[in-house]
Amino acid sequence: MDSRPRVLLAADEIAARTRQLGAQIAHDYAGHGLVLVPVLKGSFVFAADLARAIDAPVRIDFLGVRSYGAGTESSGVVQITHDLSRPIEREDVLLVEDIVDTGLTVAHLVSLLQTRGPRSVRVCALLQKPSRSRVSAAIDYLGFTIDDLFVVGYGLDFDERYRNLPYIGALDLP
Ligand code: IMP
Ligand code: MG
């Protein structure tokens, strides 16, 4: 059996913050809509809630990446496992990430998207661990900063488990 992660961010705290982010995004993109690009798999839960909190025309397209094996350290190598289904030329793109740890994944994905001629690329991340940052990745919309803990739930996994937890919990790793 999985041990039960201790609650770091409760479901209602996440929901309240997500609503604020959605309102801010709708305000900032007012009048011209945007393309939400959730990074799979980790951000599928956050993106589903965020999308519904944005009262503006939104298109959604997914990027799949793999930057972790079964461990908890970023390899720095980002493999694209699923690409966007449509061009993003002249579009306003908002990359949606679950967590920015070293920043390597976001930095890599932003430069990849920039090569496709979008009008703008911004980043929305639910969580950031500032103490672990290795590259400066600008996060335009941030939910919460957290300490250097390994967190799971609300889409985030440890070795593909815990994604369905409704809250964000910290795992006490051996
Ligand atoms: P980065 O490239 O080091 O910023 O790592 C980013 C990716 O690593 C995230 O999108 C997550 O998929 C994963 N990750 C980083 N920290 C955690 C964590 O505490 N729990 C679960 N996944 C994590
Ligand atoms: Mg991720």
Kindly report, residue by residue over 75-130, the tens digit of the pLDDT: 666 889 999 999 999 999 999 999 999 898 999 999 999 999 999 999 999 999 98
125 C-beta closer than 6 A to ligand 1: no
pLDDT band for 133, please (50, 70, 90 cuts): confident
Region 144-155 average pLDDT: 96
Q: Which two tokens stand for residue 31?
A: 């009048």
Whole-angstrom Cα distance, residue 47 to residue 58? 12
Residue located via tokens 């190598």:
77
| Ligand 1 atom showing the smallest separation from residue 149 Cα | 19
Contact 135, 112 (CB under 8 A): no
- Please list the active-site residues: 101
pLDDT band for 17, please (50, 70, 90 cuts): very high
Measure the CA angle with vertex 78, ends 159 and 96; round to 5°: 80
Q: Name residues whose C-beta falls within 8 Å of residue 172's C-beta, 6 or more positions apart in sequence.
A: 3, 6
Residue identifier of the C-alpha nearest atom 15 of ligand 1: 101
CA–centroid distance, residue 149 to ligand 1 (Å): 11
Kind of pairing between the strands at 141-145 and 92-100: unpaired
167 C-beta closer than 6 A to ligand 1: no
Q: Would you tell me the crossing angle of helices 11-28 and 44-53 to the nearest 10 degrees?
A: 50
Mean pLDDT of all residues belonging to the chain: 92
| Per-residue pLDDT, 72 | 58
pLDDT in tens, 26-79: 999 998 899 999 999 999 999 999 999 999 999 999 999 987 554 556 666 688
Whether this prediction's pTM lies above 0.85 is answered by yes
CA–centroid distance, residue 38 to ligand 2 (Å): 9
| Per-residue pLDDT, 8 | 98
